[in-house]
Structure formats: C-alpha cells, structure tokens
Amino acid sequence: MNVVVEIRSLDLAATPEDLAAAISSRTTNALTTENIKTIKPGYGGKATAVVLLPARIANELARGPRLRIGWASCSIRIRFPMNRGTLCLDFGHRKNACTGPDYRNLPQLLETWTY
Ligand SMILES: [Zn+2]
C-alpha cells in the first residue's frame, strides 16, 4: 500500500534528486525520483513536496526528526486519505454510497426538522 507524504519547508532550489537522496539516507530502501510526485513553491521561498511511498517506508521516515535537505530543515507529514462525500459530510463513504441526510441545501433541511 502506498501512502502520500508531504515534505514541507523545502528549499526552492531543492531538486527531486536531492529529495530522493535525503529520504533514502534515512530509510532502508533506496528511493528513485519516480516516488517524488510534485514540488510546489509556497510562501517565503519555501516549497512543499508530495512523495508517494510504501507505507512501511513512510512510517520509517515520519517517525524520525525533521529531514535535512540542503540548508533546509523539513517537516514530514503523512497525508491521510479523506474518504468523505458531499451529501452528509460524514467520513468513511462517498456520495454514491451515502445513506445519511443530504446537507447540500441546509436551510431547506432545517425547515423539515421538528423541535
Ligand atoms: Zn453520507
């Protein structure tokens, strides 16, 4: 199973190769740049990288302290998949499997409530 990992406060000059090397230095398996999905620039000259990793390696990585990549000290966060529909806003199912109330038109729904 693959897990999406966010690496934040990355230096804008960091390349996918730098990132793969830094992650590989901490985990038991060597990584290639294929695992690096995106590096997006953010505010303050910093970037966020999205990396797709096998769950075991992601755990190894996220358990440790901040990751040093070049001059930057980066935080590591596992992004949990949000399985959430747009009808009842409950977790664990999507719209097509929803049995809960439809919250798309909340004012109309509130009128049908009895107090
Ligand atoms: Zn639902």
Q: What is the pLDDT of residues 48-65, one digit of tens each?
A: 999 999 988 898 888 889
Ligand 1 center from residue 84 Cα (angstroms): 8
DSSP 66: P
3-state SS, one letter per residue, for 2-21 = EEEEEEEEEECCCCHHHHHH
Cβ neighbours of 24 (radius 10 Å): 15
Ligand 1 center from residue 112 Cα (angstroms): 19
Task: Give the pTM.
Answer: 0.71
Q: What's the rounded Cα separation, in Å, for the pair 57 and 115?
A: 52
8 A C-beta contact, residue 11 and residue 70: yes
Query: What does the pLDDT look like over 74-113, one tens digit per residue?
Result: 999 998 878 888 888 888 888 899 988 888 888 877 887 7
Task: Look at the alpha carbons of 58, 64, 66, 70 in this order and tell me if their dihedral is positive or negative.
Answer: negative
- pLDDT band, residue 5 (cuts 50/70/90): very high
Beta pairing partners, 49? 7, 39
pLDDT score recorded for residue 15: 92
Ligand 1 ion: nearby residues, β-carbon < 5 Å = 85, 88, 90, 98, 100
**33 pLDDT above the threshold of 80:** yes
pLDDT score recorded for residue 29: 79
pLDDT score recorded for residue 72: 92
Ligand 1 center from residue 70 Cα (angstroms): 45
Ligand 1 center from residue 98 Cα (angstroms): 4
